[in-house]
């Protein structure tokens, strides 16, 4: 039988402000608190060291971008090493002049840069004008090896695509991890629509957990950001799901350090009972590489 072990994970949920120093200090504090709570991993919200700047298109905003390694990743590496915890954090990466990515870095518990994932699916919707800022990722769906296991790191909009989760699972990911920044428009989204959106967001990721028999760890930010008429109310509700979609922990809509225990060994046990990978009809899936079947 697979070796039975539990892994304590933490999800940092908080509001982000325009001042980068304040946000980075908040992240460092979350890493320290996660380590003190016995967590082996801590996940920060998407673009955690800046406001959610994609609500408008402004060339000056590219000044937020950093190289990786760079100032923020170096500070997070030091925090990871001091706390003895793996850190997953999404950053605005300046790769070259005119070339920028939304990149998740993974800092191992010794502070080493274990790897990075560049966001593959880039939205372009009202108040989420990410295509203006981010070039789609070019690193593929490749898990990152760390001292606590193989992490299938994806970013926000990626969470709506079962193909991304499946490819990470097929490459040996032991958990799926999604730093996120998602919320409501209080002007256009009434209470019923807000409930539907939150349910859809959690529901699709619950499906990834079940279909791949993997724990899913997802962060979000909280608070209201933007200008009058274009505000986003980030809804929080970060969560940890088990490999059958069970809720192991869920935050509310205020700042919180969410703590949960996951059991990576259950993946093998569940795949023996429900062999979804064995029964995939890969001979009939060719049309998945098409945009649409007319």
Q: 89 has which bridge partners? A: 105
Which residues make Cβ contacts (< 8 Å) with residue 262, sequence separation at least 6? 6, 7, 9, 175, 215, 217, 240, 242, 248
Per-residue pLDDT at 227: 77
Per-residue pLDDT at 259: 98
Q: 93 has which bridge partners? A: 66, 101
Active-site amino acid positions: 46, 119, 156
Per-residue pLDDT at 278: 96
Q: Give the chain's residues under pLDDT 70.
A: 1-2, 228
Rounded distance between C-alpha atoms, residue 104 and residue 82, angstroms: 20
Per-residue pLDDT at 2: 64
Question: Model confidence over 273-293: pLDDT tens digits?
Answer: 999 999 999 999 999 999 999
Q: Are 52 and 121 in contact (CB under 8 A)?
A: no
Residue 195 burial by Cβ neighbours in a 10 Å radius (0-12, 13-18, 19+): exposed
Per-residue pLDDT at 230: 77
Per-residue pLDDT at 5: 85
127: tokens are 């108040």
Per-residue pLDDT at 294: 87
89: tokens are 């954090």
CB atoms within 10 A of CB 293: 5
Which residues make Cβ contacts (< 8 Å) with residue 150, sequence separation at least 6? 143, 144, 172, 173, 174
Q: Are 28 and 79 in contact (CB under 8 A)?
A: yes
Q: What are the structural domains of the chain? A: 7-274 (3.60.110.10)
Q: What is the pTM of this model?
A: 0.96
Per-residue pLDDT at 4: 73
The overall average pLDDT reported for the chain is 96
């Amino acid at each position: 039988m697979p070796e039975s072990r539990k892994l304590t994970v933490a999800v940092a949920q908080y509001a982000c402000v325009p001042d980068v120093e304040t946000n980075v200090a908040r992240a460092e504090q979350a890493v320290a608190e996660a380590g003190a709570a016995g967590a082996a991993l801590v996940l920060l919200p998407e673009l955690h060291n800046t406001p959610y700047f994609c609500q408008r298109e402004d060339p000056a905003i590219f000044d937020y971008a950093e190289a990786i390694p760079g100032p923020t990743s170096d500070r997070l590496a030091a925090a990871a090493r001091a706390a003895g915890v793996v850190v997953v954090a999404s950053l605005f990466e300046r790769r070259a002049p005119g070339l920028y990515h939304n990149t998740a870095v993974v800092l191992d518990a010794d502070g080493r840069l274990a790897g990075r994932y560049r966001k593959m699916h880039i939205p372009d919707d009202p108040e989420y004008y990410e295509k203006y800022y981010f070039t789609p990722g070019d690193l593929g769906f490749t898990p990152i090896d760390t001292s606590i296991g193989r992490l299938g790191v994806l970013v926000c909009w990626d969470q709506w695509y079962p193909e991304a989760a499946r490819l990470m699972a097929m490459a040996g990911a032991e958990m799926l991890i999604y730093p996120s920044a998602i919320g409501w428009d209080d002007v256009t989204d009434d209470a019923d629509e807000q409930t539907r959106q939150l349910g859809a967001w959690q529901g699709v990721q619950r499906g990834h957990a079940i279909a791949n028999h993997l724990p899913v760890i997802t962060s979000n930010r909280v608070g209201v950001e933007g200008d009058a008429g274009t505000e986003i109310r980030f809804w929080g509700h970060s969560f940890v799901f088990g490999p059958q979609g069970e809720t192991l922990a869920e935050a509310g809509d205020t700042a919180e350090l969410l703590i949960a225990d996951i059991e990576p060994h259950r993946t093998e046990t569940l795949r023996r009972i429900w062999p979804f990978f064995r029964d995939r009809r890969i001979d009939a899936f060719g049309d998945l590489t098409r945009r649409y079947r007319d």
